[in-house]
Amino acid sequence: MIRTAFAPGETDAPRRDPGTGQDANAAGYSSPGEDASVSQGSSRDGEVRVGSTASPDRVTDTAPPAAAARIGTTVALTLLRAAVYPDPTADQGEHEFRVALRVGASIPDAVYEGYRLNLPLRTVAGIGSTPIEPLFTVDNPAVVIEAVKLAEDGSGDVIVRIYEAHGTRSRARVIRSFAAAEAHETDLLERPVAPAAIIATDDAVLTLELRPFQLVTLRYPSIH
């Protein structure tokens, strides 16, 4: 866990890498007065080093860091922007960050670690032998169910938000375990839109074709 505090305009971002002499601005840092970074040469907040050629990735269970950059084998993580405009008191005070580093992470690994850190599995103790099925399951790990909720209009319809997480074109079957009418696509305000991802429906199974990182909202009308 990293703890730091900022006042307006404070920065801890190095302007030059001490090992290579490389200009830090060219490596992706912001201008002085905008941010604070964890990097080689940063004495207040510590450093993160990568000792191999494997590709690292990082996840956090708090507000996401403002930026990340890599200079050789050193990873610089910008924790927080402490700007004075448009809000002169933005992000002042004490902040806590918990960041995990996964060496050699693929995109699926990074997605998994992010959910594991932010949304750990919750268990409920109970009595009985009847298994409880999830409301929805997806047969492709690249397609993630991000939210399941009731419609905002009070109709009792079920809203499901799904996205493609691996950056590839993906096909997946969404399987529901409860009675509902045939699903249709909506926008984020839950208004009907022309189908863009649904390619087939078969009773409780819906087949989707998603573009890289595409977000889709589905509405399952309730059966009264």
Domain residue extents for the chain? 2-118, 136-220
In terms of Cβ atoms closer than 10 Å to its own Cβ (0-12, 13-18, 19+), residue 222 is middle
Domain covering 136-220, topology = Immunoglobulin-like (2.60.40)
Task: Quote the pTM value.
Answer: 0.62
pLDDT at position 63 is 58
The label of the residue with tokens 């971002």 reads 13
User: Per-residue confidence of the chain (224 residues) as pLDDT tens digits?
Assistant: 444 444 444 444 433 443 444 444 444 433 333 333 333 333 333 333 333 333 445 556 555 555 667 777 777 777 777 777 788 877 777 888 887 888 888 888 888 888 888 888 888 777 777 777 889 999 999 999 999 999 999 999 999 999 999 999 999 999 999 999 999 999 999 999 999 999 998 889 999 999 999 999 999 999 87
pLDDT at position 77 is 79
pLDDT at position 18 is 39
pLDDT at position 43 is 32
Three-state SS sequence of the chain: CEEEEECCCCCCCCCECCCCCCECHHHCCCCCCCEEEECCCCCCCCCEECCCCCCEEEEECCCCCCEEEEECCEEEEEEEECCCCCCCCCCCEEEEECEEEEECCCHHHHHHHHHHHHCCCCCCCCCCCCCCCCCEEECCCCEEEEEEEECCCCCCCEEEEEEECCCCCEEEEEEECCCCCCCEEECCCCCECCCCCEEEEECCEEEEEECCCCEEEEEECCCC
pLDDT at position 57 is 58
Residues pairing with 4 in the sheet: 95
| Identity at 86, one-letter amino acid code | P
pLDDT at position 5 is 45
- 15 and 34 Cβ atoms separated by less than 8 Å: no
Selection from 53, 57, 176 nearest residue 116 by Cα: 57
Q: Output phi, psi for 80, to 5 deg.
A: -155, 140
